[in-house]
Amino acid sequence: MTKVHQQFVVVGLSGGVDSAVAALLMQNQGYRVEALFMQNWQEESGANCSASQDLKDAQHVCDVLKIKLHIVNFSVKYWNNVFQYFLDEYAAGRTPNPDVLCNKEIKFRAFLDHAKSLGADFIATGHYARRITIGGRELLLKGLDKNKDQSYFLYLLNQEQLASSLFPLGELTKQQVREIAENAAFPNYAKKDSTGICFIGERKFKEFLSEYLLARPGDIITADGQVLGRHDGLMFYTLGQRKGIGVGGQKSSQEAPWYVAIKDLKNNALIITQNKEDPSLMAQKLTCNQLHWISNQEPEFPFECHAKIRYRQQDQRCVITQPNDSKEARVDFFAPQWAITPGQSIVFYRQEECLGGGIITQ
């Protein structure tokens, strides 16, 4: 790759191996590199949080690369623009995807704005995605590592955000990234990938959510009305969920796993089934709103493309239609889909290009 000299890039450094290698690659490509560590969640002392270790790991990487580390607290913006929405969606019985909103509001807005205030030409992150410019238009492409492609979580980015963003890992596999980190003597080269809620980390989810929302226990029932137990609150369950329902070993049922089929908000009941192909779990169409198109131009409807209704799902062929003057769109799939979940994102693709997406409503 041709070296670019003296352009200034600020790398979002999380303490993980991906962002560490992103910083190294930017440096190797000739950029002037500094790093920024975001503190987005206020913790009480003694809380189960890895943020302090993440900061130490980020500083170690900067020491190896001999670059400056900025530490910035975006916790107020995170609460107002990401976490409050997260709570509101769960309170309404939906299952939100905070990573998508976190990218839009924090990593590619608050972080980008701060980097620009430092004089940066670009920001860089450890996302497995690619960006190319064709005819003055920014395209977001899938990462080449299909198991790690993160374009699904980036569909809310706009042209301006993409034009200022670099994704140095887009053409690498996770294994290659770890090997680069090990060769660079990064102490976090074998660190496991972070999971859990964006910037909040791994938690006992039920306990964590209970700190902020009032749970309403109710009955767990079968489709024919047989009561099998009690649920702790509908907000703790998602459609298609198999583990953690707590009704195993029923004498009157076969030894097959149970699945969450319906969250009956009106009656505060959790309806479950042992048939993974139950009609209540299968659907060939959905509606979605809050549509966003990365190109800033919506297509002509009806529009045929592919879509994912969850991360790492295989692309599914579909047709999008949008009734006149409607803020909602309808998506018809060519094949039935399993456990379409309100509150989650549907993301649209044309081959390798991520086109945009919306929030599933029904």
Q: Active-site residues: which are they?
A: 102, 198
Torsion of CA 332, 352, 309, 358, to 10 degrees: -80
121 is written with which tokens? Answer: 């030409």
Region for residue 356 given its phi and psi (left: phi exceeds 0; alpha: psi -120 to 50; beta: otherwise): left
- For 164, the 3-state DSSP assignment is coil
Beta-carbon neighbour count of residue 264 at 10 Å? 15
Tell how strand 259-264 and strand 269-273 pair up.
antiparallel
Helical spans, DSSP H, in 184-329: 205-210
Which residues does 348 contact at the CB level (< 8 Å), separation at least 6?
A: 155, 305, 306, 307, 320, 354, 355, 356, 357
Q: What is the DSSP string of 177-218?
A: HHHHHHHTT-TTTTPPPP-SBTTTBS--HHHHHHTTS----E
DSSP 8-state assignment for residue 181? H
- For 361, the 3-state DSSP assignment is coil
